[in-house]
A and B are shown apart, each in its own frame.
Chain A
């Protein structure tokens, strides 16, 4: 079973529209970390945000906002007033607590291709 599900394979919007990218995760750990990465056409993966499981406060950074809801195991990403430069593949990822002084691995979703048309 996939630990991170991004049900939306592709989304197309027109510039200035708001768009929400969905992410649902699965874990039995009580301590875990959630991430969003952006992969623009240039191909490099760019870190956007990390969220800890014990902090459900939503976060806003400019036009970006994230909604973390443990009750539904979701960590959704909203872009307000989208721009052409937002066109990219967006990945949601989960890291579980490996315990002790070690890191677990990152589990990535399959990604959502966002296309913003002018």
Chain B
């Protein structure tokens, strides 16, 4: 079975540009999570969805960040405009309610904002 798929794996952009990160969860999973990992702050939960509906977005840093899940097999995390401090590795994870939050992570997108 395919795991969580994220694209792109690496993204280098200039400050002020729009960045879109993509995630395809494991088929059949009903929860999707977006995390950000930096040396300074560790792993931070940004937002998570249940059956395509956002449940908790309190971790989204500011209005420049937005996330959508138009269907059960696709989610995006958008940063507009991007800033150097957004440089991080962004992970997507998915899970099943009945698995008690055992989350499966994608390979991550390494974002560098110059």
Q: Which of B42, B45, B55, B103 contacts A102 (CB 8 A)?
A: B55
A47 and B103 form a contact (CB under 8 A): yes
Residue of chain B at shortest CB distance from A45: B105
B43 and A43 form a contact (CB under 8 A): no
Q: Which of B14-22, B64-72, B89-97 contacts A (4 or more CB under 8 A)?
A: B89-97
Q: Which of B89, B95, B104 contacts A103 (CB 8 A)?
A: B95
> What chain A residues lie within 8 Å of B101 (beta carbons)?
33, 35, 50, 95, 103-104, 106
B97 and A35 form a contact (CB under 8 A): no
B107 and A35 form a contact (CB under 8 A): no
Q: Which of A47, A101, A105 contacts B56 (CB 8 A)?
A: A105
Number of interface residues of A (CB under 8 A): 22
> What chain B residues lie within 8 Å of A43 (beta carbons)?
89, 107-108, 110
> What chain B residues lie within 8 Å of A109 (beta carbons)?
42
> What chain B residues lie within 8 Å of A102 (beta carbons)?
50, 55, 97
Residue of chain B at shortest CB distance from A104: B101
Known: A103-B50, A105-B45, A108-B42. A52 touches B100 (CB 8 A): yes
A44 and B105 form a contact (CB under 8 A): yes
Q: CA of A105 to CA of B108 in the docked complex: distance in angstroms?
A: 19
Q: CA of A50 to CA of B96 in the docked complex: distance in angstroms?
A: 14
Residue of chain B at shortest CB distance from A96: B101
A91 and B95 form a contact (CB under 8 A): no
14 interchain pairs, CB-CB under 8 A:
A43-B108, A43-B110, A45-B91, A47-B102, A50-B100, A95-B101, A102-B97, A103-B95, A103-B97, A105-B33, A106-B101, A108-B42, A108-B43, A110-B42
B42 and A35 form a contact (CB under 8 A): no
Q: Which of B99, B102, B103, B107 contacts A44 (CB 8 A)?
A: B107
A44 and B48 form a contact (CB under 8 A): no
A105 and B48 form a contact (CB under 8 A): yes
Chain B nearest Cβ from A90, distance in angstroms: 12
Residue of chain A at shortest CB distance from B9: A43
Besides the contacts A50-B100, A91-B43, A111-B42, what 7 more A-B pairs have beta carbons closer than 8 Å? A33-B100, A43-B107, A44-B105, A45-B91, A50-B99, A102-B97, A106-B45
